[in-house]
């Protein structure tokens, strides 16, 4: 290995006591490939095993914690104990290749397709429809339902523990329910869950508290709890960097193992809410809380030099998403001094070799600009 890449391969101890063999994380990515009943499919196991050899940590695609939260077809479930055997197979498949396994847990809120949720009824913080054309307006959750969803996140965590996962990631990003409750654009409530910034933070923070309570009660070995968030929204009333810096300050007080900043570009600049200067979103977040909780960055990191440049910013954990779909041997090639052989585009002839499930493959081919695809 070229010595300059050694910083990517330093071990990293998380607060829980879980130790990662390097700083590279497989980012959570939707693959649409679970069984119709929400159980883990064989093709999922093959997909994750193919990508678990080199990275220190694998964060799975999101699992729904409750039936009203299923965000898309082909998503796997953590909403009942019947799911534990399949989840156990998944955790074991990842761990058998040397990586730690973290289950991402979420609720899709208003982003859920009506045909994926009971009675076709979508729910959210308030009756604000998603931006997608023709998307239905969700029903506002009642106070009792919010409390039930908080408990459901805890129950999904218990199932992850019983299935043998090394941790869970709470998905508060990408416009899903926890973000909908934090955002003034989608949260127009006037009760204890809405209005002020502190009230809008109450639901995500309550989920963190519940998950940690369940971990304390059920985990017999060190168990990771991370939180993923999107730092800004484009809408006028949407989340600003100023809002996010308040949220991450509160999250940093929760003794989490990491904060995962969901970005399409690691080096993207803030839209609004902070002074205009040369700092990136990740710079602002790292400066705010990096001395209290490890920050994980992601977004458009393709080459070994991209990853090195990213970790040199001071962010200690680097998540790789689309690149690990295109190049499952990304880590191994760097270790073997073959970083020049890393592929940064897909060939239409390589689906089988890359072990990409059919539905994910079709989504890639039918979404121009998502991946670089060569004939």
Q: Are strands 12-13 and 19-20 parallel, antiparallel or unpaired?
A: antiparallel
Distance CA 351, CA 358 (A): 8
Candidate list 48, 176, 227, 258, residue with the active-site label: 176
- Examine the residue annotation and report whether 176 is marked as an active-site residue of this protein: yes
Residues taking part in catalysis:
176
């Amino acid at each position: 290995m070229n010595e300059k890449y050694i910083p990517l391969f330093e071990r990293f101890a998380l607060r829980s006591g879980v130790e990662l063999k390097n700083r590279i994380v497989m980012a959570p990515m939707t693959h649409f490939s679970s069984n119709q009943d929400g159980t883990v499919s064989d093709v999922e196991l093959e997909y994750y095993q193919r990508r678990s050899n080199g990275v220190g940590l694998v964060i799975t695609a999101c699992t729904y914690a409750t039936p009203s939260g299923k965000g898309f077809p082909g998503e796997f479930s953590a909403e009942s104990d019947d799911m534990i055997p399949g989840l156990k197979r998944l955790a074991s498949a990842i761990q058998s290749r040397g990586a730690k396994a973290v289950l991402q847990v979420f609720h899709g809120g208003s982003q859920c397709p009506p045909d994926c949720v009971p009675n076709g009824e979508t729910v959210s913080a308030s009756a604000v429809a998603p931006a997608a054309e023709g998307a239905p307006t969700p029903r506002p959750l009642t106070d009792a339902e919010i409390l039930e969803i908080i408990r459901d996140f805890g129950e999904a965590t218990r199932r992850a523990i019983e299935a043998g996962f090394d941790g869970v990631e709470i998905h508060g990003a990408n416009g899903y329910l926890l973000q909908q409750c934090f955002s003034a654009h989608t949260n127009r409530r006037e009760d204890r869950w809405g209005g002020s910034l502190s009230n809008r933070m109450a639901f995500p923070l309550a989920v963190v508290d519940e998950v940690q309570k369940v971990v304390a009660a059920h985990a017999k070995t060190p168990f990771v709890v991370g939180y993923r968030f999107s730092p800004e929204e484009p809408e006028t009333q949407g989340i600003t960097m100023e809002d996010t810096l308040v949220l991450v300050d509160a999250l940093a007080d929760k003794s989490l193992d990491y904060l995962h900043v969901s970005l399409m570009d690691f080096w993207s600049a803030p839209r609004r809410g902070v002074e205009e200067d040369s700092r990136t979103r990740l710079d602002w977040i790292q400066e705010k809380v990096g001395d209290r909780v490890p920050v994980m960055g992601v977004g458009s990191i393709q080459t070994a030099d991209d990853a090195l440049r990213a970790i040199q910013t001071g962010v200690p954990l680097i998540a790789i998403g689309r690149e690990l779909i295109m190049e499952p041997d990304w880590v191994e090639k760097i270790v073997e001094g073959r970083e020049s052989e890393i592929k940064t585009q897909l060939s239409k002839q390589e689906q089988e070799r890359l072990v990409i499930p059919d539905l994910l493959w079709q989504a890639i081919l039918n979404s121009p600009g998502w991946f670089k695809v060569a004939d």
